[in-house]
Structure 1
Amino acid sequence: MLNLQIFPDLPIAVQIHIVAALTSLVLGIAMFVRRKGTRSHKMIGKLFLALMLITATSAIFIRYINDGALSWIHIFVPVTFFAAWETVHYIRKGNLKGHKRAVKGLFFGALLIPGFLSFLPGRTMWMMVFGG
């Protein structure tokens, strides 16, 4: 049972984080299924990258799980920044294989894995989706 009623009461950093992450998920899927190298692929990729950086940056301000300190899930912040850097670095060097690996790392390692972890019982996404 989806419970979106709690969304407006969440801290702004959490709201930004959720919107940026979910939008990144949609764009990431679109990026993978569309033809590579096209103008639309590049546009979607740039937007995906920007939203992933917003997701990671907003995560820095989400600290209510661990009494105001960073928690174990914050390890994905530097992972995201590094993978984003790699993504740009490799495409600028013309290294398509490295670029592809970095984008997959960004999508799976910095978006899907922490995304799944956000659905642990008691976490905000658990409460929003499962109503508990």
Structure 2
Amino acid sequence: MPLPSSLPPIIAVHLSLALSAVAIGPWVLWARMGATLRPQLHRALGYAWVTCMLGAALTGLFIRDFRLPNLWGYTPIHLLIPLTLFSLHRAFRYLAAGNITGHRKTMQWLYFWACIVTGMFTLLPGRYLGQLVWGQWLGWI
């Protein structure tokens, strides 16, 4: 699959938000771990992470792939969009109710599935980013 010399704007925005979320996530989780709590850092980075996740989920709605198995251009990876939005809503409901354990587990679960697992799926050779990384940048395929 030949790739354009530059990323389409929607993919560039989506990729920037997603990579930012991947990078910020561990810092947010770290700020609340152990005996030393860093609530201001956790809260500030948490808002940044949630903003990145919301942006990545919403921009993902406008990215379509008609080559892979799809339904109107939406592939199975798009199922993570409503899951991400639901999980963010759930995490903040837990927080509002004072259920810190529920909030923490939901956010950890969301980071793993929406950032790590989804990131691995986007790097498959048949996907746009996979072709870009493995083919164009590294020349392996």
When structure 1 is superposed on structure 2, of 20-29 and 84-93 the one drifting more is: 84-93
The CA RMSD over aligned residues, in Å, is 1.9
**In the alignment, does 2:65 pair up with 1:64?**
yes
Highest RCO, 1 vs 2 (Cα 8 Å, sep ≥ 6): 1
Amino acid at match of 2:82: P
Q: TM (normalized to structure 1)?
A: 0.86
Q: TM (normalized to structure 2)?
A: 0.81
The alignment partner of 1:9 has SS state of coil
Identity of aligned residues (%): 28
When structure 1 is superposed on structure 2, of 30-39 and 118-127 the one drifting more is: 30-39
Amino acid at match of 1:28: G
Query: In the aligned structure 1, how far is the partner of 2:81 from the partner of 2:24?
Result: 19
Aligned to 2:40: 39
Q: Is the 8 A contact 2:65 2:75 kept in 1?
A: no
1 or 2, which has the higher helix percentage? Answer: 1
Radius of gyration: which is bigger?
Answer: 2
Query: In the aligned structure 2, how far is the partner of 1:70 from the partner of 1:95?
Result: 35
Structure 1 residues not aligned, in runs of 5+: 1-5
Structure 2 residues not aligned, in runs of 5+: 136-140
